[in-house]
Amino acid sequence: MSNLAISVSELSKVYGDRQAVSQASFEVPVGSICGFVGPNGSGKTTTMRMLLGLIKPTHGTGSVLGENIKHPEKYLSQVGAMIEGPAFYPALSGAENLRVLASIGGFSQKRVATLLEQVGLGDRGDSKYKTYSLGMKQRLGIAAALLPQPKLLVLDEPTNGLDPSGIQEIRNLIKEMAKSGTSIFVSSHLLSELEMISDHLVMLREGKVLFTGRTDDLLAAQNPLLVVKPEFAVDLNRLVEIATKHGKKATVLDGSITIFGAVDWAPSFNRLAFEAGITLSGLSVIQPSLEETFFEMTGE
Amino acid sequence: MMFGELRKLRRKTLLIPTLIGVALLTAFFTSFVFLRVETGKPNGARGVLITNEFLSGKNGLVYGFQIMGFFLGIVALCVFASQTAQEYSLGTLRNILVRQPSRLKVLLGKYFAMAFFTIWLEIAAAIFALSISFALAPRSAISTRAWLTASGLQLLGETFINIFLGTLAFGTLGMILGLLFRSPITSISIGVLWCLILENILGAVISSTTKWLPGANFANISQGGTSIISYQRSLATSGSYLLFGAIVVAILFKKRDVSN
């Protein structure tokens, strides 16, 4: 088998006159946790749907677990997926919903109880799905994705609606799955979460791939940031003005300003602020996070 | 796929109300026929007068059950349409297709499961109708001697098969509508409105259209044919409509993107 869990080449999807995905090419190595990031409407879910055979690409090719995406029946028995949130029958219990899917996929019914325990729904498995909170629904969706003991797990926003401890549990679950050799392709708008777990990234904007590769490589290639905190918050906008006047891009965030690509300029900026009568209470150089890199690259 | 679908069909929220509905309708129509037989007023389907002598013959056993054939068909239409269309409205179709990518297998699995459900529904209706018939026959001095003869039981078997085929035809129409409109409310509304109201208006205005209307032909199969439309003609007409509709929606289902 190929050492790629997913490989797509020039994959495109057009709806009428709207290009949902445009010539996307990327690879996800076997055993990796690959984060799939992009703003809303950038084509993440459409791409995932194409990989799962739910929609047909307008153009381009791809393979999942070494099999052509034109023949999803050859690989879907080894793929677990949760696309665009959980969707189940409201009048059935969580356990019954999983049993329905296990029957359809030909999986052992015995896995249902184990999976409910694994996602923290052991004591609510017999409750009707319609009584579940958003977080519980999300957990059930993940349990359903794990039914086939997948070699590849495709998760679309798996932490939506979860509280911090739930997010941590899912993070740990994803890490455990990856340790056991499962490849994971996960999209999330919580970029800090993806930064913590992803070893690979695919970054999408307006249907086009902006970056694909190792997370470390992406972050290492970014210029450090200068974070400046004034003594008084009223001076924030004046500091932005000073930076902008000297051709630097600066944004206000959480009582500080972040100046992009200006590490060598720190002493000069300190002096300019002093001359303007502004006292700085903090001035530090940091490596940009995935979130900052994402905003920098997508221009959002 | 079929077993998964059966799990959904046997849920209490669907099974119990459906059975109660069938039981009430069966009780109403069967009782109506038997309790009014002595009044000399119309007591049969479409205002026909059913006599004591007629009910004392072998037909008396199945008459109440036969009237229910059409209503069982309407129930099947609603169940098939809602069970099919709700996969779109709930978004569960994507879960199913990720687990079973062969879309034709998904359709056939659903269809056979719902056909199986129809048989159970029909058995329940038959039990209700026959029990009420036996219970009310002595009250109206209707002899049940002919009911349990070999020919009476043969008629019961034939009626069961005819009602099953007619009900399945209505159900198939419901599934076709569910796949076309992808909304339970829309598909059920259109199906019920067409079969219960529009066909009756059309038939009343231009009586010759009755021979060609799908709902009339499905109901005619349940009745085992009438002097207006023969059983064989209804089977052929219904089969042609449903085969055409099934091919169209199967192609649509296979080709359509699942984007909700």
Closest C-alpha among A65, A26, A6 to residue A202: A26
**Statement to judge: residues A131 and A158 lie in one domain:** yes
Evaluate whether A40 touches A32 at the Cβ level (below 8 Å): no
Task: Report which DSSP code applies to A53.
Answer: T
- Mind listing the pLDDT tens digit for each residue in A205-258? 888 999 999 988 888 777 788 889 999 999 999 999 999 998 888 888 878 998
* Stretch B239-252: mean pLDDT: 96
Q: Which residue's structure tokens are 């793929």?
A: A79
Sheet containing strand A4-15, edge to edge, reads A18-29, A4-15, A59-64, A67-68
Does the pLDDT at position A60 exceed 70?
yes
| Same domain flag for A122 and A186 | yes
Q: Tell me: do A57 and A190 sit in the same domain.
A: yes
Mean pLDDT confidence for B73-91: 95
Q: Of the residues A187, A220, A253, which one is the last residue of a structural domain?
A: A220
Say which of A85, A88, A91 has its CB closest to residue B11: A91
Instruction: Tell which of A188, A220, A252 closes a domain.
Output: A220
DSSP state of A42: S
Strands A33-37 and A183-187: parallel
Same domain for A106 and A53: yes
CB contact under 8 A, A96 and B7: yes
Q: Are residues A104 and A130 in the same domain?
A: yes
> Tokens 């159900």 — which residue?
B171
Segment A171-183 shows an average pLDDT of 90
* B115 contact A CB<8A: no
Average pLDDT score over chain B: 92
The helix (H) or strand (E) run that includes residue B104 is helix B103-136
Instruction: Round to whole Å and give the CA distance between A246 and A174.
Output: 45
pLDDT on residue B181: 96
Same domain, A207 and A83: yes
* pLDDT score for A226: 87
Cα distance between residue B93 and residue B86, in whole Å = 9
Q: B14 touching A, CB under 8 A?
A: yes
* pLDDT tens readout for residues A119-141: 889 999 999 999 999 889 999 99
Chain A residues lying within 8 Å of B258, measured CB to CB: 49, 54-55
CATH code where residue A118 lies: 3.40.50.300
State which of A220, A253, A278 marks the end of a domain.
Answer: A220
Q: Are A142 and A119 in contact (CB under 8 A)?
A: yes
Rounded Cα distance, A91 and A76, in Å:
27
Measure in Å the smallest separation between the Cα of A9 and chain B Cα atoms: 20
Give the number of domains in chain A. 2
Ramachandran class of A282: left when φ > 0, alpha when ψ lies in -120 to 50, beta otherwise: beta
Nearest CA in chain B to A46: B259
Q: Is B8 near chain A, with CB under 8 Å?
A: yes
What would the two tokens of residue A113 be? 């109880």
Contact assessment for residue A130 and residue A90, using Cβ atoms and an 8 Å cutoff: yes
Q: According to the per-residue pLDDT averaged within each range, which of A107-111, B135-139, B188-192 is highest? A: B188-192
Q: Which of A54-63, B34-43, B150-159, B242-251 has the weakest average pLDDT?
A: B34-43
Torsion over CA of B60, B64, B66 and B71, rounded to 10 degrees? 170
SS3 content of chain A, % helix, strand, coil (to 5): 40, 30, 35
Domain with A215 in it: 4-220
% chain B with pLDDT above 90: 70
To test the contact with chain A by mutation, choose from B83, B88, B90, B98 the residue with the greatest count of A C-beta atoms within 10 A, namely B98
Q: How confident is the model over B109-136, as pLDDT tens digits?
A: 999 999 999 999 999 999 999 999 999 9
Average pLDDT, chain A: 90
Nearest CA of chain B to the CA of A50: how many Å? 9
**How far from chain centre, in Å, is Cα B224?**
13
Which ipTM was obtained for this model? 0.85
pLDDT value, residue A195? 87
Read off the pLDDT of residues A22-39 as tens digits, 9 standing for 90 and up.
999 999 999 999 999 988
**Which residue in A81, A87, A103 is closest to B7 by CB distance?**
A103
In this structure, the answer to whether residues A19 and A72 fall within a common structural domain is yes
- How many CB atoms lie under 10 A from the CB of residue A125? 20
Using an 8 Å CB-CB cutoff, list chain B residues near A90: 90
CATH of the domain at A240: 3.30.70
- Interatomic CA distance for residues B18 and A139, integer angstroms: 32
Torsion B230-B236-B239-B241 (CA) sign: negative
- Interface check for B95 against chain A (CB to CB < 8 A): the answer is yes
Q: Which whole number is the average pLDDT over B183-209?
A: 93
Indicate if A45 and A174 belong to the same structural domain: yes
Task: Tell me if residue A84 falls in helix, strand or coil.
Answer: coil
The encoded tokens of residue B191 equal: 């199906």
What's the average model confidence in pLDDT over B180-194?
96
Whether A248 and A119 map to the same domain: the answer is: no
Looking at residue B24, what is its pLDDT?
94
Q: Do A169 and A254 share a domain, yes or no?
A: no
Phi, psi of A48 (to 5 degrees): -60, -40
A1 versus B14: the higher-pLDDT residue is B14
A1, pLDDT greater than 60: no
Determine whether the interchain pair B95/A92 forms a contact, defined as Cβ–Cβ distance below 8 Å.
Answer: no
Mean local confidence (pLDDT), B69-78 = 95
Q: Cβ(A49)–Cβ(A55) under 8 Å?
A: yes
Residue of B nearest to A148 (CA): B99
Portion 56-85 of A in contact with B at CB < 8 A: 56, 72-73, 76, 79, 81, 83-85
In contact, B120 and B18? CB cutoff 8 Å: no
Structure tokens at B114: 């719902």
Question: Which amino acid is present at B115?
Answer: A
Quick check: B99 and A147 CB within 8 A?
yes
Asked whether the predicted pLDDT for residue A260 surpasses 90, the reply is no
Alpha-carbon span A59 to A43, nearest angstrom: 14
Q: Which helix (H) or strand (E) holds B170?
A: helix B150-181
Residues A207 and A280 both lie in one domain: no
Residue B259 has pLDDT above 90, yes or no: no
A216 and A253 together in one domain: no
